[in-house]
Chains A and B, each alone.
Chain A
């Protein structure tokens, strides 16, 4: 018995859509997230606009070569603060990068599932959430009290504490991305683990490791709180009367911005904006370079 397909009795569903409350709700919510996303972009645009108009106005060659002005002085710059930032970030990188990469090698290659590795991973995650000012407190207790003076190395140690977890965690991830077959091939040829790490894992993972290092450097360059009472500030050059005065209070761009932001003098305020522009340009430059480096190749 065949069903007669042509004699369908139930009504054909109307293609005309009735108004539905849930469609309206979708529309409202979609508008809301669009609005939210656009609103969330306003601060970045506003910050960049202010930096370019107010900081750009003051930017000249002399701000990079002169010392910070005092009181009602006109002119001046933040040459010593830039030098101080570079020196302290350099010290921090010299401590954090080797230690961090060695630790990452252990975490990724030598004992990934050991108790020691799990504890270290946990410790590194705790360190990433550490308020940056506590790194300053730590360096103060460890270095400033011991040496009896505010200094560039004290600031460097504080920054190193902040860089270390970023280097460890990103370097571990990068090494884990190295394909296992490449390592197996090397082991199969009789390489020791050290040879595998040096000749296969590190070269292959290097772009991604460098990305992590760059991100850590960018973060350290912008930090202020850890430097406030470890490096303090200085109105003079690090290189003073023919010798390097590392064990003295040291200027940095970020502390200069902080100090000048509250001053009632227009000249200092203009310099604070110009220094902010320079600092943001440095940080963004490092960020962008790290992105170009870090494009995954496999």
Chain B
């Protein structure tokens, strides 16, 4: 008998080796936990596999025409997603610029002793609540609040500065700018939260050393704290970009669903996710295969961005240790 346990000599001892039942339960439970892990991995593989497999017919039938074409006409059998790719990147970048500015300011504001702790907690809750509101509600709010609110300003910009390509058209309802603004609000919490973590991760003594050299509050922030936390802050921007690229509902409701490539902020546009949301429910088999192709492209873009973002976060965490 090679039992791994020392069996006590006194049979009445409180110390007893695990019974056969304990053994069995233990093994089963551990096997189940392993099954759980494998299932999580399996979901990711199945996801990539299923979307990839369903995209193959679309790739075979249309090839690069889908990526380079700019007309989407079901009746003619023309499916081009170039405008949607352009709109996805353009709207995400504008949203990232706005949300990056506000998000990083917010992170500095909340971590660098501008506020008493209770007030900082209030602002932190506000930012967290922004993340909790469903995107479809933002879409509804965007249609009935944001678009009417920015319309006078956009009309003025278009009439006065219309020669700048960004203001080249007038805003006639849905368009890129309202979509990007709402998108910015939606990714602000991600950027603010991750940047806050990065800033609080900078050791106290770094800041004390800066103060000791006679810097002002802001010199310490801009020349010491932000550069020290730069990797994490940059990671927050990349993760925010990843969210912006994949966001669906607010864009489907606000971006205008028009297949044109324009620099104008006020022109209606389209994004990959919005294209999927708007066309999928009523699509025929021909259209479905192209939509699967578009889904694959969207997945690849967000996958690359998210992997880069995770890598930055990984290095940022390692740097703090």
**Could you tell me which A residues sit within 8 Å of B by CB distance?**
22-23, 25-26, 29-30, 32-34, 36-37, 39-41, 43-44, 46-47, 50-51, 98-107, 109-110, 116-117, 119-120, 122-127, 129-138, 140-142, 161, 164-165, 168, 190, 192-195, 197-198, 218, 221-225, 228-229, 232, 254, 257-258, 261-262, 272-273, 276, 279-280, 283-284, 287
Contact = CB atoms under 8 A, between A and B. Distances in A.
Given A37-B109, A142-B50, A272-B140, A131 B123 contact: no
Nearest to B130: A44
B10 interface: no
Given A36-B109, A47-B141, A164-B40, A224 B47 contact: no
B134 A287 contact: no
B177 to A, nearest CB: 15
A194 B123 contact: no
Given A43-B185, A194-B29, A287-B132, A106 B36 contact: yes
Say whether chain B's binding surface is mostly helix, strand, loop, or mixed.
helix
A111 B108 CA distance: 38
A279 B35 contact: no
Interface of B: 5, 15-18, 22-23, 25-26, 29-30, 32-41, 43-44, 46-47, 50-51, 53-54, 101-102, 105-106, 108-110, 114, 123, 126-127, 129-130, 132-141, 143-145, 185, 188, 216-219, 222, 239, 242-243, 245-249, 252-253, 273, 276-277, 280-281, 291-292, 295, 298-299, 302-303, 305-307, 309-310
B106 A138 contact: no
A110 B243 CA distance: 32
A36 B101 contact: yes
Given A99-B39, A100-B36, A131-B273, A193 B30 contact: yes
Given A99-B36, A193-B30, A29 B15 contact: no
Contact of A138 (B50, B105, B126): B50
Contacts of A100: 36, 40
Contacts, number: 257
Contacts of B216: 22-23, 26
5 contacts: A110-B34, A126-B303, A129-B306, A130-B299, A137-B280
Contact of B141 (A50, A107, A125): A50
Contact of A258 (B16, B136, B219, B299): B136
A124 B222 CA distance: 34
Closest 3 CB pairs of A and B: A131-B246, A222-B134, A102-B36
Say whether chain A's binding surface is mostly helix, strand, loop, or mixed.
helix
A71 B239 CA distance: 42
Contact of A257 (B140, B252, B299, B310): B140
B109 A33 contact: yes
A134 B129 contact: no
A90 B237 CA distance: 34
Contacts of B18: 190, 192
Contacts of A225: 135, 248-249, 252, 273, 277
B37 A107 contact: yes
A164 B5 CA distance: 38
Given A37-B105, A132-B248, A141-B54, A50 B36 contact: no
B249 A168 contact: no
Contacts of A29: 218, 222
A134 B46 CA distance: 12
B280 A228 contact: yes
* A46, A123, A195, most chain B CB atoms within 10 A: A123
B40 A120 contact: yes
A51 B138 CA distance: 11
Nearest to B34: A106
Given A33-B109, A138-B51, A106 B33 contact: yes
A96 B38 CA distance: 13
B22 A192 contact: yes
B292 A141 contact: yes
Given A44-B130, A106-B37, A133-B276, A30 B218 contact: yes
B49 to A, nearest CB: 9
A176 B32 CA distance: 19
Contacts of B248: 131-133, 224-225
A258 B298 contact: no
A222 B15 CA distance: 52
Nearest to A37: B109
B46 to A, nearest CB: 7
B33 A103 contact: yes
A92 to B, nearest CB: 13
A222 to B, nearest CB: 3
B302 A129 contact: yes
B36 A222 contact: no
A125 B310 contact: yes
B176 to A, nearest CB: 18
A143 to B, nearest CB: 10
A50 B133 CA distance: 13
A129 B40 contact: no
B17 to A, nearest CB: 7
Contacts of A50: 141, 144-145
Contact of B43 (A136, A164, A198, A221): A164
Contacts of A192: 18, 22-23, 25-26
B114 A132 contact: no
Contacts of A120: 37, 40-41
